[in-house]
Amino acid sequence: MDTIASFLTSDHRACDGEFANLENAVASQDWEESQKQLEKFSTDLNHHFSMEETVMFPAFEEVTGMTQGPTMVMRMEHSQMRTILEDLKADIEKKDKNHFFGVSESLMMLMQQHNMKEEQMLYAMADMHLGSLVSKVIEDMKAI
């Protein structure tokens, strides 16, 4: 049986791979490929956020009653990452490799810290508290 932790951690790794592809395209200054990779990464990252924000977080909050705790912090960090994605988009449009890598380093650090909090704390809490609902939550996330 899948767990929320295994399902969403696997998705983190897929997003990490897309991010590496994006950085490689920018490093080679292939701006057309960079744009494609940014669109792919952005789509995948926002899909991940959507699965959490529309399915897993509400289920966790309903079962635990915790609405001002870890899910609130994760939503705030998702918002920060969405803003950084816009900065990366502008850098690619301007073909500004140096600024892109300054901003992408900030995003990478934020993603690493964010993912660690989710993987080491929130996902385990969700699996524990959601119990018999885990399979349904995963299926609902897959349906997005």
The pTM (predicted TM-score) of the whole model is 0.94
Q: For position 67, what pLDDT does the model report?
A: 87
Is residue 123 included in any domain, yes or no?
Answer: yes
Question: Measured between alpha carbons, how far is 29 from 17 in angstroms, rounded to an integer?
Answer: 19
Which structural domain range is residue 78 located in? 4-139
Query: DSSP character for 69?
Result: S
Overall number of domains in the chain: 1
- Give the up-direction half-sphere exposure of residue 130: CA atoms within 13 A in the CB hemisphere: 24
Q: Encode pLDDT of 113-134 as tens digits.
A: 999 999 999 999 999 999 999 9
Q: Encode pLDDT of 55-83 as tens digits.
A: 999 999 999 998 888 999 999 999 999 99
Q: For position 99, what pLDDT does the model report?
A: 97
Query: DSSP character for 137?
Result: H
Contact 130, 4 (CB under 8 A): yes
Is residue 10 included in any domain, yes or no?
Answer: yes
Question: Measured between alpha carbons, how far is 16 from 103 in angstroms, rounded to an integer?
Answer: 16
